[in-house]
């Protein structure tokens, strides 16, 4: 029959055989890919939403395929409260409340403010960079959500029993990285491990530790002693100031953004202050960070080391007083 088809319609025969060859090749390629699955615990507990992802070892990760996801605002909540997307993805915010919202993110890698979001309307945001996105509403401070932006499509999140599976992994050597909101910045780095994956299913059992415990969430930190974080903020700000003084202004600004993101926001310090003293206090300290950064960027005119050092001392002094009060409560 194939010979008859080739004789009567050579062009169609060529297209048909090419398509069949493509299907066979694709199926063979899929058969050669591996799979990583297993169980993850934090402090011995099996919990959901631990993110695991694979990056090529000693090689640049291929650009991931972006996706579109929708996060709904309903009953003054984000639904889902936690999402995972890849870099370059678009998030649609759909307001199903009867209230006006104003969704924002203060993450330096993906900062945005969508402005007044009217009921029964949808707005979108493009997330260009990997990392954590903490969602808040300017109008309703109780609204909080999280998005993790993965640098690769080879990711998975644990289910309620701590199980995960990453399918269709090309054989090779990888770095297996993990993320959870309870991890400190140092723990995120310490959790990285190397792993080789072949054309089969690789089973793993991963035990991770969180010094602050699983109760550490970005929305509740009232009883933690934040003195260590404030000390780290002070030391890091002095390092940024040193870079600025040596005319390494771009490096200084990058350092500033990292301090704000990791030590003030992601550590939970900012939210602890908001919970104990109110949102205006936390916003004022956010503005202090922003002011220092803008001066370093030259956005507010000329300044000098002494002036910047005084701003830093004022900020750290305020933070130290706040954490002392929190510790006594």
Q: Read off the pLDDT of residues 269-311 as tens digits, 9 standing for 90 and up.
A: 887 888 788 878 888 998 999 999 999 999 988 889 999 999 9
Most confident of 153-162, 184-193, 202-211, 212-221: 153-162
Per-residue pLDDT at 307: 93
Strand order in 193-197's β-sheet? 155-157, 51-56, 172-179, 193-197
Q: Is residue 52's pLDDT more than 90?
A: yes
262 — pLDDT class (breaks 50, 70, 90):
confident
Per-residue pLDDT at 2: 46
Work out whether strand 34-42 and strand 201-208 pair parallel, antiparallel, or are unpaired: parallel
In angstroms, the CA 116 to CA 62 distance is 36
Q: Where are the domains of the chain?
A: 34-208, 227-328
As a whole number, mean pLDDT of residues 10-18 equals 50
Which residues lie closer than 8 Å to 137 by C-beta, 6 or more apart? 73, 101, 102, 103, 104, 143
Q: Determine if the peptide bond prior to 141 is cis (ω within 30°).
A: no
What totals of helices (H) and strands (E) does the chain contain, helices first? 8, 16
Q: Looking up tokens 């000098």, which residue turns up?
A: 304
Taking each helix axis from N to C end, the angle separating 269-277 and 227-245, rounded to the nearest 10 degrees, works out to: 120
Whole-number mean pLDDT of the chain? 85
pLDDT in tens, 173-195: 999 999 998 887 778 888 899 99
% of the chain exceeding 70 in pLDDT: 86
Q: Which CATH class is domain 34-208?
A: mainly beta
As a whole number, mean pLDDT of residues 48-56 equals 94
In angstroms, the CA 254 to CA 296 distance is 10
Among the listed ranges 5-9, 47-51, 165-169, 227-231, which one has the minimum average pLDDT value? 5-9
Among the listed ranges 83-87, 89-93, 155-159, 209-213, which one has the minimum average pLDDT value? 209-213
* Residue 60 backbone dihedrals phi, psi, to 5 degrees: -80, 135
In angstroms, the CA 129 to CA 117 distance is 24
pLDDT in tens, 76-90: 999 999 999 999 999
64 — pLDDT class (breaks 50, 70, 90):
very high
- How many Å separate Cα 203 from the centre of its chain? 26
Q: Is residue 21's pLDDT more than 50?
A: no
Per-residue pLDDT at 25: 42
Q: Is residue 243's pLDDT more than 50?
A: yes
pTM, rounded to two decimals = 0.59
Interior/surface letters 67-86, b for 16+ CB within 10 angstroms, e for the rest: eeeebbbeeeebeeebbbbb
Over its C-alpha atoms, the chain yields an Rg (Å, rounded) of 24
């Amino acid at each position: 029959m194939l010979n008859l088809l080739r004789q009567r319609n050579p062009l169609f025969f060529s297209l048909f055989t090419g398509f069949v060859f493509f299907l066979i090749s694709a199926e063979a390629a899929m058969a050669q890919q591996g799979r990583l699955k297993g169980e993850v615990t934090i402090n011995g507990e099996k919990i959901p939403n631990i993110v695991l992802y694979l990056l090529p070892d000693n090689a640049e990760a291929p650009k991931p395929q972006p996706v579109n996801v929708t996060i709904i605002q309903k009953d003054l909540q984000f639904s889902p409260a936690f999402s995972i997307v890849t870099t370059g993805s678009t998030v649609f915010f759909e307001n199903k409340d009867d209230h006006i919202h104003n969704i924002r993110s203060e993450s330096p890698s993906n900062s945005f403010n969508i402005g007044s979001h009217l009921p029964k309307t949808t707005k979108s945001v493009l997330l260009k960079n990997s990392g954590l996105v903490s969602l808040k509403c300017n109008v309703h401070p109780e609204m909080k959500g999280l998005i993790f932006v993965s640098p690769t499509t080879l990711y998975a999140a644990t289910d309620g029993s701590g199980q995960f599976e990453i399918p269709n992994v090309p054989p090779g050597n990888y770095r297996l990285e993990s993320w959870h909101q309870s991890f400190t910045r140092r723990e995120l780095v310490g959790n990285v491990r190397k792993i080789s994956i072949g054309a089969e299913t690789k089973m793993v059992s991963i035990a991770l530790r969180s010094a602050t415990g699983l109760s550490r969430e970005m929305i509740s930190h009232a009883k933690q002693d934040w003195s260590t974080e404030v000390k780290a903020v002070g030391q890091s700000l002095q390092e940024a100031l040193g870079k600025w003084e040596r005319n390494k202004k771009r490096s200084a600004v990058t350092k500033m953004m990292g301090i704000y993101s990791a030590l003030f926001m992601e550590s939970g310090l900012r939210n602890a202050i908001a919970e104990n003293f109110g949102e205006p206090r936390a916003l004022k300290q956010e503005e202090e960070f922003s002011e220092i950064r803008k001066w370093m960027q030259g956005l507010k005119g000329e300044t000098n080391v002494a002036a910047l050092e005084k701003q830093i001392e004022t900020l750290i002094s305020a933070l130290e007083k706040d954490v002392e009060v929190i510790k006594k409560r």
